[in-house]
Amino acid sequence: MLVFTDLDGTLLDHDTYSFDAALPALRLLEKKNIPLIINTSKTRGEIEMYRSLLGNRHPFVSENGGGIFIPEGYFRSKFRYDRASGGYLVIEPGTPREELRDVLKSVADETGIRLKGISDMSLSEIMEATGLDEDSARLATERSYSEPFLIYGDEEKVRRKMVEKGYNHTRGSRFHHILGENDKGKAVRILSGIYRLESPSIETLGVGDSPNDLPMLMEVDFPMLVRKRGGTFDSGCRLENMTLADGEGPAGFNSAILKFFIRYEEKTSTENRI
């Protein structure tokens, strides 16, 4: 089993960025040797901070599937990657950020709608919009394959213009995102494919809270949606086989994962008896 998870609003509390409420589930995954793979719109630097807090040594996915980082020596099998960097073999489905920034500018010009990219925001504006401290806000600006932005006007008109130009639009817990060909689902497909070289029968579980998680949730065998702040589920995220978690953010992650593995074990032990 592989567990893919979003960070903001899923494993991390929307406001405090704490994962404390998910600790029992995190310990269970560790005990069972189940890789927890972070799949987020956050940057490599931000993810590395949480990986060290979590004691996580597994591959991870940054910037909505823009970059897939695999620790060197993690897999025995050979696979294709784009570059080696700082102890990782990196697969880069993402579009360079400069290109995305140019497209964002032309979308703003052509629609007459004001868009504010994270690169046009000061550090204090980012801190204000996200609730991050200064160091974390700085890590959030170090982007390679995405440009989170705010829309001051008709969101649908902006989305249509981006699609018309051949780019994708998605929405996370706080920001809108402009993307090239990449999304969180494509990253799940690529990474699961590499795991399957070594463990062909591997199954996948995914946890998210927002529309940018939907491609990931569609790709996994067991999709789970956690509640947003205030207790509601995002109306833009529905799949037939989806488990709706009993709890917001990390509390939802915790209860959904614990319940899943209790049921999963009952099921597999029954199958083994038969």
209 belongs to the binding site for Mg ion (CB under 5 A) = yes
User: What is the DSSP-derived secondary structure letter of residue 50?
Assistant: H
130 belongs to the binding site for Mg ion (CB under 5 A) = no
The position carrying tokens 């037939």 is 240
65 belongs to the binding site for Mg ion (CB under 5 A) = no
Nearest CB to Mg ion, comparing residues 17 and 260: 17
Q: Which of residues 97-116 bind Mg ion (CB under 5 A)?
A: none
Both structure tokens of 160: 């249509």
Query: Which H or E element spans position 200?
Result: none
- Smallest distance from the beta carbon of 31 to Mg ion, in angstroms? 26
Task: Tell me the β-bridge partners of 170.
Answer: 177
Which residue from 4, 8, 68, 207 is in contact with Mg ion, where contact means CB under 5 A? 8
Nearest CB to Mg ion, comparing residues 42 and 58: 42
- Smallest distance from the beta carbon of 249 to Mg ion, in angstroms? 9
| Options 88-96, 120-128, 206-214, 236-244: segment touching Mg ion (CB under 5 A) | 206-214
- From residue 159 to residue 188, what is the string marking binding to Mg ion with x (rule CB under 5 A)? --------------x---------------
| Options 88-96, 118-126, 158-166, 209-217: segment touching Mg ion (CB under 5 A) | 209-217
Nearest CB to Mg ion, comparing residues 6 and 48: 6
CA distances (Å), origin 170, targets 85, 124, 162, 181: 28, 24, 10, 12
Nearest CB to Mg ion, comparing residues 108 and 256: 256
In this structure, what is the dihedral angle of CA atoms 213, 215, 216, 220, given to the nearest 10 degrees?
140
Calpha distance 253→156 (Å, rounded): 30
Which residue from 2, 3, 4, 6 is in contact with Mg ion, where contact means CB under 5 A? 6
Calpha distance 45→8 (Å, rounded): 15
Q: What are phi and psi of 35, to 5 degrees?
A: -60, 130
From the candidates 6, 8, 183, 209, give the one annotated as an active-site residue.
Answer: 6
9 belongs to the binding site for Mg ion (CB under 5 A) = yes
| Options 78-86, 92-100, 176-184, 204-212: segment touching Mg ion (CB under 5 A) | 204-212
Nearest CB to Mg ion, comparing residues 117 and 250: 250
Calpha distance 201→34 (Å, rounded): 14
- Smallest distance from the beta carbon of 199 to Mg ion, in angstroms? 28
Report yes or no: 126 and 134 within 8 Å, Cβ to Cβ: no
- Smallest distance from the beta carbon of 173 to Mg ion, in angstroms? 4
Asked if 246 is an active-site residue, the reply is no
Residue 186 three-state SS? helix
Residue 130 three-state SS? helix
210 belongs to the binding site for Mg ion (CB under 5 A) = yes
Calpha distance 177→86 (Å, rounded): 26
Report yes or no: 58 and 36 within 8 Å, Cβ to Cβ: yes
Calpha distance 142→79 (Å, rounded): 27
- Site residues (vs Mg ion, CB under 5 A): 6, 8-9, 173, 209-210
Active site residues: 6
